[in-house]
């Protein structure tokens, strides 16, 4: 059976759990990372040498890096549905997933860590403010894109919605100023209607 390693409040673990829920996969989750530890053990380092979460094991196969895991599951269990057959459509999905990892989360992460995980007296307010400004630009860009389509890759939900969806959930729930982005808001509303999103993401407190 598929085993997912990682605490369920981690943004990167939630990508994998949401994907599993979308695909109605049977899986077991092992709490690891944060207060649960386990990531420094030789057993875990053999699965994920970075010592981060998530990682998966399936029939002797192991994989780490959240977006790679989402792609693997989507290709293996959701080809033609969560993962497009067409190489250009797949490249489009890849591009948005990479953009989330390299740009959106790079900007949003300091805001999230600063406001959620750092005591007020220890916050780097200037970093939080500048990162929130950069993140707002990212969501404006996605807003332009989403005003013309229902989901990131067009009119149906794909794996490309997953990394951006977990990021949007943080962004909408952080105590920061946000520009008006009706395209992103409507898309986020559509995600909230999905049982899989609620189970893996929005029902879990942001901590
Ligand atoms: N690029 C990696 C990043 C993984 C990552 O940074 N994971 C965080 C949680 S979101 C982590 O393991 N933090 C340490 C911990 O939880 O112990 C991925 O996408 O899987």
Rounded mean pLDDT for each run of 10 residues along the chain, 207 residues in total:
98 98 98 98 98 98 98 98 97 98 98 97 98 98 98 98 98 98 98 98 97
The pLDDT of residue 17 is: 98
Give CA–CA dist 166/30, Å, rounded. Answer: 20
Pair 114, 69 in one domain:
no
CB of 33 within 6 A of ligand 1: the answer is yes
Domain boundary among 57, 78, 99: 78
The pLDDT of residue 29 is: 98
Pair 44, 125 in one domain:
no
Domain boundary among 31, 55, 78: 78
CA of 54 to the centre of ligand 1 (A): 7
The pLDDT of residue 162 is: 99
CA of 55 to the centre of ligand 1 (A): 10
The pLDDT of residue 110 is: 98
Mutate to test the pocket of ligand 1, among 5, 9, 10, 18 (most ligand atoms within 8 A of CB): 10
The count of structural domains within the chain is 2
The pLDDT of residue 99 is: 98
Mutate to test the pocket of ligand 1, among 52, 71, 200 (most ligand atoms within 8 A of CB): 52
Pair 133, 182 in one domain:
yes
Measured at the CA of 123, the angle between CA 122 and CA 127, to 5 degrees, comes to 145
Structural domain boundaries, residue 136:
87-199
* CATH code, domain with 108: 1.20.1050.10
The pLDDT of residue 64 is: 98
CA of 105 to the centre of ligand 1 (A): 12
Examine residue 116 and state whether it is found in any structural domain, yes or no: yes
Ligand 1 atom with the shortest distance to the CA of 12: 10
Matching residue, tokens 């894109």: 145
The pLDDT of residue 133 is: 98
The pLDDT of residue 69 is: 99
């Amino acid at each position: 059976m598929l085993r997912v390693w990682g605490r369920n409040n981690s943004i990167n673990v939630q990508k994998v759990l949401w994907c599993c829920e979308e695909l109605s996969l049977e899986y077991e989750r092992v709490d690891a990372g944060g207060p649960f530890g386990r990531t420094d053990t030789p057993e875990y380092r053999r699965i994920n040498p970075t010592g981060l979460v998530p990682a998966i094991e399936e029939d002797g196969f192991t994989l780490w890096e959240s977006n790679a895991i989402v792609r693997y599951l989507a290709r293996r269990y959701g080809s033609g549905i969560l993962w497009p057959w067409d190489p250009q459509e797949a490249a489009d999905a890849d591009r948005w997933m990479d953009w989330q990892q390299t740009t959106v989360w790079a900007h949003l992460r300091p805001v999230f860590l600063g406001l959620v995980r750092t005591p007020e007296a220890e916050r780097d307010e200037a970093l939080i403010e500048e990162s929130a400004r950069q993140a707002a630009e990212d969501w404006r860009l996605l807003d332009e894109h989403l005003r013309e389509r229902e989901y990131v890759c067009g009119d149906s939900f794909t794996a490309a919605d997953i990394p951006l969806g977990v990021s949007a959930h943080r962004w909408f729930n952080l105590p920061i100023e946000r520009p008006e982005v009706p395209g992103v808001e409507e898309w986020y509303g559509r995600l909230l209607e999905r049982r899989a999103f609620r189970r893996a993401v929005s029902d879990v407190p942001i901590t």
